[in-house]
Copies of this chain bind each other. A is one copy, B any other.
Amino acid sequence: MADTKKPIPTRQAALDAYITLRRAGNTIAAKLNRHITDNHLTAGQFGILEALFHLGPLSQQQLAKKILSSKGNITMIIDNLEKQAIVKRTASPHDRRTTIIQLTPQGKKMISKIVPNHLKKIVTMMSVLTVTEMMELKRLCKKVGLSINKE
């Protein structure tokens, strides 16, 4: 926070970039959300299932960080998913405070039917960009994201 006074063009470019970034992300997410609710899942539930699907069993704490949600909310989402036998809680062998969340076989089956379509939708929406542009977009976003998390 050393440099409080940015020249106007920098300032305007920064704001424009953020607003456009945010709007694009929200627009895509809103489209995807329709697909998610069609499958009788909430965005939070889907986020957790997707994380478990791609990364394997995770603790609730890890899930909270992944989907940027409060741990109280994770407890509730897991409660609901467990009631439907989509995931199950397991005790961690190393730390009796933590519970490890796993997909049940039915859960894995279910999410593996939804994810491919979900990804296809993302690819379709992003495909207005060339591959070079996609890579550049990724680079720029990563640069921003990393610097914030370093703070």
Contacts and interface: CB of A to CB of B under 8 A. Distances in A.
B27 A126 contact: no
Contacts of A1: 124
Copies of this chain present in the complex amount to: 2
Contact of A13 (B11, B30, B135, B142): B135
Given A23-B141, A24-B21, A27-B145, A126 B14 contact: yes
B25 A148 contact: no
Interface in A129-146: 129, 131, 133-138, 140-145
A112 interface: no
A17 B125 CA distance: 11
Contacts of A125: 18, 144, 147-148
Interface size class on chain A is 35 or more
Interface string A13-48: 111111011111111111100000000000000000
Interface of A: 1, 3-4, 6, 9-11, 13-18, 20-31, 68, 119-120, 122-129, 131, 133-138, 140-145, 147-149
Contact of A123 (B11, B20, B127): B11
B138 A17 contact: yes
Nearest to A2: B124
A37 to B, nearest CB: 12
